[in-house]
Structure 1
Amino acid sequence: MQTAGNARAILPRLPVPDLEKTLSKYLDSLKPFLLEEATRTGTSYDNLLALRSKWVGDFTNGLGNLCQQRLYELDKSSPDNWLDDNFWLKGYLQWRAPLLVNSNWWLVFNDDPLQPSDEHNSSGFTSWQLQRASWLVHRTLEFKDKIESQEIHPVTTRTGVWFQENVGRMFNIARIPQRDCDTLSVTSLSSDPLSHNVIVIVNNWFYTLRAYDPSYGLIGVETFLSRLNAIVRDATTRPGLAPEIGVLSADERDTWASNLQCLKSISPDNSRTHEAIVKALMCLCLDNVTHTLPSSKNLSLSSLPQPSGISQASLDSHLHAIRSTASNVSNHFFDKPFSIVVDPAGRAGATGEHSPCDALIPSIVAEYAVAEQVDMDSSSNLPEEPKNEGWDRLDWVTDDRILQATRSARERAEAIINNSDDSILWFEEYGSDWMKSAGFSPDAYIQLAMQLAWYCTMGEFTATYETALTRMFHKGRTETIRTLSEESRAFVLAMVDLSASNESKHHLLQRAIRKHTTLTRDASTGRGIDRHLLGLRNMLQEGEKCDLFEDPLFAKSQEWRLSTSGLSAGHYFRGTGFGAAYENGYGINYLAAPSIVKFGVETKLSGDGTSTTKFKSALVDALREMKNVVSVASLNENKDNNSEPYLVSRL
């Protein structure tokens, strides 16, 4: 029996959704695609829908019911839930693409208020860089400790349980490359000395920095700085160049698995080095160059609204430095879930491997780290230690094959980086406050703006992914919100129709937002469809087939060329980002604050028809046009009522 002192909120188990309801919602999600096909080919929409309805009915009454029963049985035998224990993590780990840009997320921190103005074009290592790095890592680990001690987000609340479980996946863990399917390491125990270290990467050299003292706990920021200074002195005075092992972790996963095995076969020291990295708390990557964009890269940005207080070139160069550039790609270790990156100017951010936890978790931790300005007076009062105390080298033993592998991996990594068309948009004309005052969910409103921008630039509709968190459930991860709907399609078509009335556009906007609100609620409460469809497909046994899953439209409805996700208001971030899922698509992360919306937009330069500049411009136009629609509707309503001010009914 639990007492008040050890009470812990209980999160419910993630349910297996109802089969008929899932398939009904799936059919509904196909309607915009069927309407497009009917318009394009002249085929009867009713016939197209009837055919899919028949396939759904056949599946429901036959093989689908059998798969559902198998899913129930799998759930019964799963420790936590049917999804996370069996499919979700495995889906990440089986993906063979390089983590660089394709999978890892990135966060761009605001500058510290104490940022020296004369260090923006710095190279080499600077005292301010090391001060800020020490402060950010210390604050990050301080937050981790407060979570574990329940000083914040106690486990007596559902949020506390969910947050503690997920923060625990950020630290002392790493993805380990294996052929065909990677593995995720077991979180290292606090009794293991390796679990007390931070990995510091400087000039491609790897080091351990002991962040916890056996007697005093988390070391003070001054002690951290002292150890960091010693590491940088060592890294900058060592003879020769470090082998670029970090870039191997940016390679295709099977290739990295093969190279890691080769490293381990060369010397047992390499196995110990890799183990130390895997078990370490996190990484700190110190860049030796402040990245700047070539002037030719900035010309296309001049027609867009410029961010206030900073140039677009500075904003994007900072973004690229955190995501990775050719100059720092070897100075990262892409398998770690959380790495802080700091350049000589003190510009900072974080990046991480996605599989252990979703980007919202590290973003909340990072907000805590950035929220307070650097304070180097908070010393630890520990006795002064010898210069070689509290840190150590992690050296890799290499041979000609490995050195050639690093050169080849760098070429492939640079090709990925050079093909990444990545930029930030600060839309400062209005933000979530205005959207709420008009009665709209900011998230739904922004999603419709992106739908409109996509259509205006591509001339067609596409399956759109938005992340929903299933955090109300034990070990809940994410579900898909299928943003493209029959209602969003109708709204977009009205917005580009010169003959459509403002009243019609406004009505369709309201209707589309109501639909999106319903989709979001379903996805967040365990009643989404895509994870369930994944589970049903995985329950098919050899030789079993059905028309539902063989339908080309089934795959097309999950071709997320527009992949999106919203985080917090982003008060402490300049921007965020992740890579597009398809070469001719976009990866878009957004931060909706009261008076500004920040978008991180990524696509590929090799993509057919996509361009971050083009999309940003279309997004600005969409946001302006949508506000104009609402404002005109408000004026007309006021005229009709001639009394109370207009207000759209809150959803």
Structure 2
Amino acid sequence: MAEAHSAVAFSFAITHDGWDVNFDREVLYLVWESGIRSWKKRLARFRNSVHNGVYPGHLQSLYFLWTVLVAAHFGGVNIPFGLVQKALTVLPSTSPMWQVIACLLAALTMWLSVIFFMRYLLKLLLMYKGWMYESRGPGSRLSMKTVLWASVVKVLSGWNKPRLYSFQGSLPRLPLPAVRDTMRRYLLSVRPLLDDENYARVERLAQEFEQTIAVKLQRYLVLKSWWSSNYVSDWWEEYVYLRGRSPLMVNSNFYGTDTLLRPTGVQAARAATVIYFCLKFRRLIERQELEPIMLQGMVPLCSWQYERIFNTVRVPGVETDRLVHYSDATHVTVSHRGRFYKMLISARGRLLNPAEIQLQIQQILDDAVPAEEGEVRLAALTAGERTHWAHVRQTHFNRGHNRTSLHCIERAAFHVCLDDIEYGFDEADSSKLDQYGRILLHGNGADRWFDKSFNLCFSTNGSVGFNTEHTWADAPVMGHLWEYVIWSELEYGYDAAGNARGAVEAAPPAPARLRWELSAPLLAAIDQSYAVAQALLRDVDLRILMYTPYGKGFMKSCRVSPDAYIQMALQLAYYRDAGRFCLTYEASMTRLFREGRTETVRSCTLESSAWVRSMLDENATVEQRMNLFVKATRRHQLGYQDAMAGRGIDRHLFCLYVVSKYLELESPFLQEVFNEPWRLSTSQTPLGQTNLLDLKKYPKCVSAGGGFGPVADDGYGVSYIIVGEDTIFFHVSSKISCPITSSSNFAKQIERSLQDVRELFNEYNKLRNGVKKAK
């Protein structure tokens, strides 16, 4: 009862002496503060909406134009098209005041006409993708068409400072490829994987599909591409992510690691500072003060995914999950040794500073009250099967403490995990790096709230990492947040003892322990999810390789795209490991288009397979191998450019498949396409998306990247990041239960392949230099 009374702002009672009114000033102040905060956010959103709605124009230009028209009108100068006189005909008077208003209407008409012309001109210009295909190497020259295009885009996008969502209305829609083009590209992509007989069979299925039901399916996609902002993204989110019934842990969520340079060894201080700068990033998003990512400094990427970084949760459903985003959150939730806490992040109208947050974190670490029975494994519900979690949520979390505590976690800005074990980067011991990745990927199966948009995980030695739910966004968006946090933390620093900096004017709000009602049926349900999670994480074979013989510096000296270089090495490594080629997935972005997410680059091509065979052919000469390597990398780069330009294969085939299911039309060709597993799933972790990180000044202020679980039961998941000039990290995952895969062996094959490619270039350069000397 005491807790209930403390939550009441005021109360009154009628007595013999009259009215008896009691009120709590502190609670009333919190109510007032909440209202002020809400109205400030509404006002900021309105201002941002106006700014973005008229971008690339500016309201100041309207005021200037209005002033000019007023001066011209009263100076006897004729206004173009007689706009002022036409406005006066509909106004109630011709007095000077109404003439000024008529000038405003004329200025508004002229200004809006110019604004909409500029917006649509920018949209038309951004549809041009020819600049992507032009070489920018030494000695290369851009075409006059691209130079003129770039000049106009630079003027339109650069004269008024853009906000985060300023370009959303000017971004073009993702183009819908023709079925014929997709079929041609698909057949080329599978040719190196099939013998003549099987290829002829697939070719026949593709021709039948193209000439029959594909025509009908494409018509529906044409309508969707006209009607929706992006014909892929909503279906991709629903059918690839939300309708998946398997556990999020390992299968969907991905992780990211700390910097190589750990700035402090104090867990509470590191947690407080990282939390603080995450919240600062959230404020930049809310106020739209975060600059959008722009390629070449002028071509914007879609910022749609940023809105859901914070205050977001994936809510389980029986048949499909829901992604719920809350407009605001004034707290984060924290878990430590199986206990859950609500931690307020603001007080007295401001965000708490790192020193104040450290006091809150330390209170949680010092709390000696143990977790309740079953509370330690409670988070395993988010790690198990989705349908089971949905039933449990509906049955046991619909009332009382369970409902209140669950909503507190789901509405939090994000979730924080204070681990009671030590992990982190250790250059001298690779096994610790593997353990680090496993802890971030799945923990112990019950110490991460996998439904939240992201979890921050802190080691006892101050190392940090994150685990991210994949539905709401892709890795580059989380990478942008991480770059901001890493750099801001380094600039802000810690005191001499490694504690967080900042003045503590008053004691911050104490964290509140979340309470649960853990009945016997609920405990049984938790154990069921925990058993699923344990079986899943015990089957993960994760190996993190730190490759230091060379990096981006050598690859660029070869005048080859670093990404294409590594993809060729991966093809060679897989062929040596498995004795065959396989369908290879590399993620590419489509954020040059509105609400764009990803597209697949099929890295195994006719050109790459020819080069791999030459590397294993003892009779092949160095010149032959080098020529084939150059052709393979150029073909890969073209495929990557096509994917970014909306000319990919797999998203189009995916949408055709979805329409066929809606129409209940069976297609042997589409069944063939989606039955083939991606045995090699790869992704490059982005680095240096912003200009914040100064790697020359702080060479070790970079993350070791992140990784994900294997996509196929008999395949590998490979994530890599090119760190500086001489380091590459590879995160290799597979399943222990598969007898033909081994992450350690595959990592060794990657090392061997990278060494062989370098030797190929060195031998080729020796031969070329020898020929020059002979001449």
Is TM more than 0.5 here?
Answer: yes
2:631 — aligned with what?
511
Describe how 1:254-333 pairs up with structure 2 within 5 A. 254-265=387-398, 267-290=399-422, 309-326=427-444, 329-333=445-449
User: What are the superposed Cα offsets for residues 322-373 of structure 1, whole Å, 9 maximum, x if unpaired?
Assistant: 22333xx322100112111001111211111111001121122112222334
Is the contact made by 1:111 and 1:346 (CA closer than 8 Å) also made in structure 2? Answer: no
Match of 2:484 among 359, 368, 386: 368
After superposition, what is the alpha-carbon deviation per residue over 1:578-628, rounded to whole angstroms, capped at 9, x for unaligned? Answer: 000112111111001221110001111111311111001111110001111
| Further displaced range: 374-383 or 531-540 | 374-383
The amino acid of 2:453's aligned partner reads P
Task: Assess, with a 3 A threshold, how the Cα gap between structure 1 residues 628 and 239 changes in structure 2: closer, same or farther.
Answer: closer
Unpaired stretches in structure 2, ≥5 consecutive residues: 1-53, 60-159, 689-700
SS of the residue 1:587 aligns to: strand
Correspondence for 1:4 among 39, 42, 58: 58
Alignment of 1:19-168 (within 5 A): 19-34=179-194, 37-38=195-196, 43=197, 49-78=199-228, 80-110=229-259, 112-116=261-265, 128-154=266-292, 162=301, 164-168=303-307
Q: Summarize the Cα distance change of 1:129–1:160 in structure 2 as closer, same or farther, 3 Å threshold.
A: farther
CA distance in 2, matches of 1:567, 1:603: 19
- Taking a change above 3 Å as real, the CA distance of residues 106 and 481 of structure 1, as seen in their structure-2 partners, is same
Aligned partners of 1:63 and 1:184: how far apart in 2? 33
Which residue does the alignment assign to 2:138? none
- Residues 1:289 and 1:308: Cα distance change in structure 2 (over 3 Å): closer
- Match for 1:383: what amino acid? E
Distance of aligned partners of 1:19 and 1:204 in 2 relative to their CA distance in 1, 3 Å threshold: same
Deviation at 1:214, TM superposition (A): 5.6
Do the aligned partners of residues 325 and 87 (structure 1) sit closer, same or farther apart at CA in structure 2, a change above 3 Å counting?
A: closer
Q: Which of residues 485, 489, 504 is equivalent to 2:605?
A: 485
What letter matches 1:560 in structure 2? W
Residue 545 (1) aligns with residue 661 (2): no
- 1:91 Cα shift? 1.7
> Residue in 2 aligned with 1:565?
683
Task: Give the corresponding residue for 2:76.
Answer: none
Higher RCO (CA 8 Å, separation ≥ 6 residues): 1
Distance 1:285 1:14, change over 3 A: same
Q: Residue 262 of structure 2 contacts residue 463 of structure 2 at CA under 8 Å; is this kept in 1?
A: no
Given that 1:163 and 1:361 are in contact with CA atoms closer than 8 Å, whether structure 2 keeps it comes out as: no
Letter aligned with residue 581 of structure 1: V
Q: Which amino acid aligns with 1:97?
A: S
How far off is 1:641 after superposition?
A: 2.5
**Kept after mapping to 2: 8 A contact 1:243/1:396:** no
* CA RMSD, 1 decimal: 2.5
Alpha-carbon distance between aligned partners in 2 of 1:330 and 1:634, rounded to the nearest angstrom: 54
- What SS does structure 1 have at the residue aligned with 2:446? helix
Once the two structures are TM-superposed, the CA of residue 4 in structure 1 deviates from its matched residue by 2.3
Q: From the CA coordinates, give the structure whose radius of gyration is larger.
A: 2
Distance in 2, Cα, partners of 1:189 & 1:508: 54
In structure 2, the residue matched to 1:212 is: 346
> 2: distance between equivalents of 1:289 and 1:479?
38
Alignment correspondent of 2:32? none
Specify the alignment match of 2:764 in structure 1. 633
Cα deviation, residue 155, structure 1: 8.6
Which residue of 563, 576, 581 maps to 1:461? Answer: 581
| Residues 156 and 581 of structure 1: CA distance in aligned 2, closer, same or farther (over 3 Å) | closer
Question: What is the aligned counterpart of 2:522 among 397, 402, 405?
Answer: 402
Paired residue type of 1:529 = I
Does the alignment pair 1:383 with 2:505?
yes
How far apart, in 2, do the equivalents of 1:243 and 1:614 lie? 36
SS at 1:513 equivalent: helix
Distance 1:154 1:427, change over 3 A: closer
Q: Please say if residues 147 and 153 of structure 1, whose CA atoms lie closer than 8 Å, have aligned partners that are also in contact.
A: no
Which residue matches 2:718? 588
CA distance in 2, matches of 1:507, 1:203: 58
Higher mean alpha-carbon deviation, 599-608 vs 309-318, is at 309-318
Which structure 1 residue ranges, 5 or more long, are not aligned?
117-127, 293-306, 645-651
Kindly provide the CA deviation profile for residues 554-588 of structure 1, in whole angstroms up to 9, marking residues without a partner as x.
Answer: 235x4111011001348522341100011211111
State the shift of 1:85 in Å. Answer: 2.3
Say which SS state the counterpart of residue 457 (structure 2) adopts: strand
SS of equivalent to 2:397 = helix
1:618 aligns with 2:740: no
Aligned to 1:605: 736
2: CA distance, partners of 1:383 / 1:643: 78
CA apart distance, 1:379: 5.1
**Residue matched to 2:317:** 178
Aligned to 2:333: 199
1:424 aligned to 2:424? no
Distance 1:457 1:155, change over 3 A: closer
CA distance in 2, matches of 1:459, 1:496: 11
> 1: CA distance between counterparts of 2:307 and 2:224?
26
Q: Distance in 2 between matches of 1:224 and 1:160?
A: 39
Alpha-carbon spacing, 1:432–1:330, altered in 2? closer, same or farther (3 Å)? same
User: What TM-score, normalized by structure 1, do the two folds share?
Assistant: 0.86
SS in 2 for 1:495: helix
* Structure-1 separation of matches of 2:409 and 2:309: 14
Distance 2:656 2:348 in 1: 50
Looking at structure 1, the residues matched to 272 and 426 of structure 2 have their Cα atoms a distance apart, in angstroms, of 29
Per-residue deviation at 1:212?
2.9
Q: For residues 109-160 of structure 1, give each alpha carbon's deviation from its aligned partner in whole angstroms, at most 9, with x where no partner exists.
A: 12554444xxxxxxxxxxx111111111112222232344344415999989
Partner SS for 1:168: helix
Q: For this pair of structures, how many residues does the alignment match? A: 593
Q: Secondary structure at the match of 2:505?
A: coil
Q: Retained in 2: the 8 A contact 1:154–1:160?
A: no
1:566/1:611 CA distance change after superposition, 3 Å: same
Q: Percent identity?
A: 29
Q: Over residues 152-177 of structure 1, what are the superposed CA-to-partner deviations in whole Å (9 max), with x where a residue is unaligned?
A: 41599998974643222211001111
Distance 1:160 1:184, change over 3 A: farther
Aligned pair in 2 of structure 1 residues 156, 363: CA closer, same or farther (>3 Å)? Answer: closer
Q: Distance in 2 between matches of 1:219 and 1:643?
A: 72
For 1:643 and 1:431, locate their aligned partners in 2 and report how far apart those are by CA, in whole Å. 32
Task: Tell me how far apart the structure 2 counterparts of residues 636 and 162 of structure 1 sit (CA, whole Å).
Answer: 44
Bigger mean CA offset, 535-544 vs 200-209: 535-544
Task: Report the Cα offset of residue 219 of structure 1.
Answer: 1.5
Residue 239 to residue 18, structure 1, CA distance change in 2 (3 Å): closer
Kindly tell me: are residues 354 and 27 of structure 1, through their superposed partners in 2, closer, same or farther at Cα, counting changes over 3 Å? same
1:352 counterpart = 2:468: yes
